[in-house]
Amino acid sequence: MDLKGKTVVVTGANGGIGTALVKGLLDKGVAKVYAAARSIEAVIELKHRDNERVVPLRLDVTHADSVAAIAEQCRDVDLLINNAGVNRCMWFMGPTGMESAREEMEVNFFGTLAMCRAFAPVLAARGGAIVNVCSIIGLVNLPVNGTYCASKAAGHSLLQGVRAELAPRGVQVIGVYPGPVDTRMTAGQEMPKSTPDQVAAAILAGIENNEEDIFPDPMSQAVHGKLVQDPKQVEKEFAAMIPV
């Protein structure tokens, strides 16, 4: 997809990757970016980057009325980037395992599904595309972060199904599978991390190159390569990362 002149919705635009995506899209020459987040105050600063092309919007992907309202307002959209997500950094047997799992599924799976359903008619009419930001640990579970992984695994399955359903309607569906990114979501976790700008640049390059699945950083690329060769071995390696 040639991004120049396109109109784009970015959810979770107040986060590290979301903000970097908005900046990158402006640099690519898009006509308009709807920068959506739960708090309008969290994205209003992005409007200062380009007062005419950035439109801050309040959006809670877990609320049906909020999703319906933004879909009605943004009927000129060519590209939907489902970036909104939550990670409670909890393991299944952890003290808040059930609560964390429910919250993460509500946002990462049901919220993404709601956005895909709401924007499918608009994108079908315009020959547009959907980009879902998944995670490399949606393809293999990292038990110490198990509940989040499960929600992203559900998101991966959602992506595959929506891709198949919308293909006959001319809507391209792209999956993004980043590894650790230096954002608020991974604060306090000691590991090599890519920057939001690096990941956003790789995502936008993948969109322009019509890639179906984007692994935007060295860690995700390495893990994906191993998963192709020996998924059981990767599962064992990730299982061994549980702290003693």
Is 177 tagged catalytic?
no
Q: Which of 6, 32, 152, 193 is catalytic?
A: 152
Chain length of the chain: 244
Q: Which residues pair with 130 in a beta bridge?
A: 80, 173
Nearest to 133 by CA among 183, 67, 73, 68: 183
Instruction: Clarify whether 152 is annotated catalytic.
Output: yes
Q: Give yes or no for a contact between 177 and 215, defined as CB atoms under 8 angstroms apart.
A: yes
Q: How far apart are CA 6 and CA 195, in angstroms?
A: 25
Question: Of these residues, 148, 177, 193, 232, which one is catalytic?
Answer: 148
Helix, strand, coil in percent for the chain, rounding step 5: 50, 15, 35
| Helix (H) or strand (E) segment spanning residue 117 | helix 112-126
For residue 220, give Cα distances in angstroms to 3, 128, 157, 178, 181.
24, 26, 18, 6, 11
Task: State the Cα–Cα distance between residues 45 and 119, nearest whole angstrom.
Answer: 26
Q: How far is CA 87 from CA 127, 149, 150, 236, in A?
A: 32, 9, 11, 23
The residues annotated as belonging to the active site are 148, 152
